[in-house]
Amino acid sequence: MTCAPYIVRGARGGLRYGAASLEDALDRDALICAFDEVSMGEATDRYVQGTDLDRAGQDAFAARSHELAAAALKRRGRGVGAAALCGGGGQGNALIIRR
């Protein structure tokens, strides 16, 4: 998420006279539910209503997913690698896992 761009609507086709606004791609695309246009957290809370899924279960699933990803990165010599997608200025490098 460190490398998420800003969006300038209409810039590709050329902007005319006047102000143009920047939109944060994280806020517009990454952290907003595409179906309901609310935050992902709010959307998840809506979708799990009436199920046996709760926040603690979701957090445990996410934590396990991160543990597995970290373990895979430690085994780089066995076909798993990581490469920076962008650099500089951020709090860390974006990573991609390749098979």
Tens-digit pLDDT string for the chain (99 aa):
667 788 888 888 888 888 888 888 887 777 888 888 888 888 988 888 899 888 888 889 989 999 998 888 787 655 555 555 555 545 555 555 555
* Residue type (1 letter), 10: G
pTM of full prediction above 0.85: no
Q: For residue 24, list its beta bridge partners.
A: 6
* Residue type (1 letter), 65: S
Contacts of 96 (CB under 8 A, 6+ apart): 82, 83, 85
Q: How far is 7 from 26, CA to CA, in rounded Å? A: 10
Q: How far is 56 from 61, CA to CA, in rounded Å? A: 9
